[in-house]
Amino acid sequence: MEFREFTSEQEWFIIKVPSNWEEFPDGKGTYAFYDEDNWTGNFRITPLKWDNLKGIDKSPEYLTQEYEENISKNPKRLKLGAHDCVFYKEYLQEEENEVLMYNWTLGSNNTLFLISFSTDKANEGTEENEKEMEKIEYMIGSLQIH
């Protein structure tokens, strides 16, 4: 699979996304992508930046808080690339569809990233979904924070 680099509008980050994935509008400050030819889910990344902290990095504190607030969802601490992450999944009902939402939170240098991948719940446990998760984790691991 080939990847291309995507640079955020504010140039806060660069991330590798599959070359055949399209970006679609998803609200101010959120970047969303999907495979237009073979939809397997939607990938979203939202960067949040703290200003005026005088050199204090609040990211580790927020990751701990995110872990504790989602304890009922069996969160895990992961390392993807150079990034410490909190990961958990949840199930949502959207109209008539059951949705499986994977969530990652990571950050450093006072920039926090809320990342999600949503897919049909029926995809859970399939070989195709496992391949998509490997791709998503590669993408997250490629994240360069500026």
Instruction: Give the residue extent of every domain in the chain.
Output: 3-145
CB 141 within 8 A of CB 119: no
CATH architecture under which domain 3-145 falls: 3-Layer(aba) Sandwich (3.40)
pLDDT value, residue 36: 87
pTM for this predicted structure: 0.92
Say whether pLDDT at 52 is over 70.
no
What is the pLDDT of the chain when averaged over all its residues? 92
DSSP state of 142: T
Buried b / exposed e across 83-94, counting CB within 10 Å, b at 16+?
bebbbbbeeeee
105-118 residue pLDDT tens: 998 877 899 999 99
